[in-house]
Amino acid sequence: MKPDKPLDVAPLLERLLAGDRTAIAEALNLVDDQRSAQRESALELLDGLAIHKEAQRAHVVGFTGAPGAGKSSLLNALVETLREHSLRIGIIAVDPSSQRSGGALLGDRMRLSASAREAGIFLRSMAARDRLGGLADATRASTAVLSAGFDWVFIETVGIGQSECEVAQLVDTLVFVAQPGAGDTLQFMKAGILELPDIFVVNKSDTGAEAERTRSELGGALQLAEAQAAAGWTPPLLSASARDRVGIDEIQTQIEAHRQHSRESGEFARRREAGQLAFATESLSRRYGEWGLAQIGGAGTLSGRLEQAGERSAFGVVLDLGREIENALRGK
Ligand SMILES: Nc1nc2c(ncn2[C@@H]2O[C@H](COP(=O)(O)OP(=O)(O)O)[C@@H](O)[C@H]2O)c(=O)[nH]1
Ligand SMILES: [Mg+2]
């Protein structure tokens, strides 16, 4: 058991920025620690990461889709490919439904060999548990930590609907993995979230006709959705088989193309800003309600404060604003 007193953050931050592997594990434990003494330290660490530009170099990619679509299998194949280029890769597997601490079940499909792990791949599983701040906040904090030490950070999330919106706010590139024959397309159209993913992959192309049908269904729906999207990027629709290692290179190529496009077009910065604003708005309104938010001037104030955060991370800004709201409520 770790001591229940605040941790000295400066040396940890230094080791983290130097790419020390054990520091990554320590930092992930720290930001996941619910004890109040550690929460102060966690915040200090996140603030430290926010002011170091080199700590945000990672490109963050979300893999989302129904359970069993093959997200873990595709990631596994992709990671192997990326490793051939000696890239350092962090992976977060999020299971919103799991109450099992550590989310051990979810990580199962990621069969990373020992050599892969030594070679600079880091896998972290996260389960819902009983979290004060919700899983999305915890995932955001873990992503900030992994971004300090890796070139790529992948986040695997299960689900349709709400969780897609949450992960979309956290990642630079969103990949949707479709399960052949699952009827995802219709559900997605109804939920109006076909606009979110940057890349679509129909996995299990080895199933033949079924995968083909899903692909053309999804293609039709995308053509309808495309009329609305106008960000200069047309989401590609890819076919792949994680089982047969088919189409993996093309997924990598498209992720890299989207990374380049979004950085050059300014979409990257715009999206990170929007994500932070959504995170701050969501955290504060969850705790204090719309009325609480209005006490500090509403959403307009929020984005201004995030813009001028200076040495504070978005987490720090949220804490500061929370205190201001509490003071306002007390009539100070
Ligand atoms: N036929 C076939 N099965 C696959 C393929 N990719 C994954 N699977 C299987 O689909 C199931 C779910 O895979 P998994 O990667 O755990 O899906 P996840 O829940 O989306 O992470 C497993 O039994 C996999 O072996 C594929 O390309 N073809
Ligand atoms: Mg999985």
Range 236-256 average pLDDT: 96
User: For residue range 272-329, what is the model confidence (pLDDT) as tens digits?
Assistant: 999 989 888 888 888 888 888 888 888 888 889 888 888 888 988 988 999 999 998 8
CB 45 within 8 A of CB 27: yes
**Which pLDDT band, with edges at 50, 70 and 90, does 143 fall under?**
very high
Centre of ligand 1 to C-alpha 226, Å, is 29
The rounded distance, in Å, linking the Cα atoms of 129 and 82 is: 32
Instruction: Say if residue 66's pLDDT is above 70.
Output: yes
The rounded distance, in Å, linking the Cα atoms of 231 and 262 is: 9
Report pLDDT for 263.
Answer: 93
Instruction: Say if residue 139's pLDDT is above 90.
Output: no
Range 122-126 average pLDDT: 84
Q: How far is CA 177 from the centre of its chain?
A: 15
What is the percent of the chain with per-residue pLDDT over 70, rounded to a whole number? 80
Average model confidence (pLDDT) across the chain: 83
Report pLDDT for 155.
Answer: 93
- Cβ contacts of residue 185 below 8 Å, gap of 6+? 178, 214, 217, 218, 221
Report pLDDT for 124.
Answer: 85
Instruction: Say if residue 259's pLDDT is above 90.
Output: yes
Report pLDDT for 192.
Answer: 65
Centre of ligand 2 to C-alpha 126, Å, is 12
Q: Whose CA is nearest to atom 13 of ligand 1?
A: 70
Taking the CA of residue 179 as reference, the ligand 1 atom at the shortest distance is 20
Report pLDDT for 221.
Answer: 83
Most ligand 1 atoms within 8 A of CB, residue of 73, 95, 175 to mutate: 73
Range 18-39 average pLDDT: 85
Range 80-102 average pLDDT: 73
User: For residue range 180-226, what is the model confidence (pLDDT) as tens digits?
Assistant: 987 766 666 666 677 889 999 999 999 999 999 999 988 888 877 66
Taking the CA of residue 67 as reference, the ligand 1 atom at the shortest distance is 19
Residues with CB under 5 A from ligand 2 (ion): 71-72, 109
Higher pLDDT, 240 or 22: 240
Report field, pTM of the whole predicted structure over 0.85? yes
Taking the CA of residue 108 as reference, the ligand 1 atom at the shortest distance is 16
Instruction: Say if residue 101's pLDDT is above 50.
Output: no
40 burial via Cβ count (<10 Å: 0-12, 13-18, 19+): middle
**Which pLDDT band, with edges at 50, 70 and 90, does 80 fall under?**
confident
The rounded distance, in Å, linking the Cα atoms of 74 and 251 is: 9
CA nearest 239: which of 230, 228, 248? Answer: 248
